[in-house]
């Protein structure tokens, strides 16, 4: 998966060994703001016709409020923040048990988005926090697809 629309570039790989098991998310992204935490979410649509603006909202098939990856009440697509080092480079590996690459909650064909701000994980005390985590605009995005 590649990113577009800004200086952010790199790869995010999603791996799942079987339906019902957690998805491992591995990333190597460059061009982020130095020493920053940036919101990182799966969005509803894999539509890049209008750049990152056409990918819709966070993937939220159960109609829940925004939250942290460890919260029970969260959007399926809420993956928290990624951390960039002093050079604006982020490498990360984590697992998530709500996203899936199989079945009715599959994220294949949806978009992954890196935001311009830090995700407050739904703890910001306002309506926007419960929708988006106040993570700001969309710095970069890409469609989640199948590769060999």
Please pick, among 38, 74, 78, 110, the residue that the annotation labels catalytic: 78
CA atoms of 141 and 40, how far apart (whole Å): 10
Please pick, among 38, 74, 110, 138, the residue that the annotation labels catalytic: 138
Concerning whether 89 is annotated as a catalytic residue, the answer is: no
Question: Taking Cα atoms as reference points, which of 144, 120, 143 lies closest to residue 37?
Answer: 120
Concerning whether 28 is annotated as a catalytic residue, the answer is: no
Please pick, among 96, 110, 115, 120, the residue that the annotation labels catalytic: 115
Concerning whether 78 is annotated as a catalytic residue, the answer is: yes
In what order do the strands lie in the sheet containing 9-15? 9-15, 23-30, 90-96
Concerning whether 115 is annotated as a catalytic residue, the answer is: yes
Please pick, among 43, 74, 110, 120, the residue that the annotation labels catalytic: 43
> What Rg, from alpha-carbon coordinates, does the chain have?
14
Give percent helix, percent strand, percent coil of the chain, each to the nearest 5. 10, 35, 55
Please pick, among 35, 47, 58, 74, the residue that the annotation labels catalytic: 58
Please pick, among 41, 74, 119, 120, the residue that the annotation labels catalytic: 41
Half-sphere exposure of 142 (CA within 13 A, CB side): 18
Please pick, among 38, 66, 74, 110, the residue that the annotation labels catalytic: 66
Which active-site residues does the annotation give? 41, 43, 58, 66, 75, 78, 115, 138
């Amino acid at each position: 998966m590649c990113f577009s629309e800004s200086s952010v570039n790199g790869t995010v790989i999603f791996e799942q060994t079987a339906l019902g098991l957690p998805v491992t998310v591995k990333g190597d992204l460059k061009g982020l703001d130095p020493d920053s935490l940036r919101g990182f979410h799966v969005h509803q649509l894999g539509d890049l016709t209008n750049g990152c603006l056409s990918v819709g909202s966070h993937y939220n098939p159960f109609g829940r409020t925004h939250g942290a990856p460890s919260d029970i009440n969260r959007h399926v697509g809420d993956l928290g923040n990624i951390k960039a080092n002093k050079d604006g480079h982020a490498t990360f590996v984590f697992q998530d048990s709500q996203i899936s690459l199989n079945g009715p909650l599959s994220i294949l064909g949806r978009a992954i988005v890196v935001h311009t701000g830090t995700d407050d994980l739904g703890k910001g005390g306002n309506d926007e926090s419960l929708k988006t985590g106040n993570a700001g605009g969309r710095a970069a995005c890409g469609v989640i697809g199948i590769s060999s």
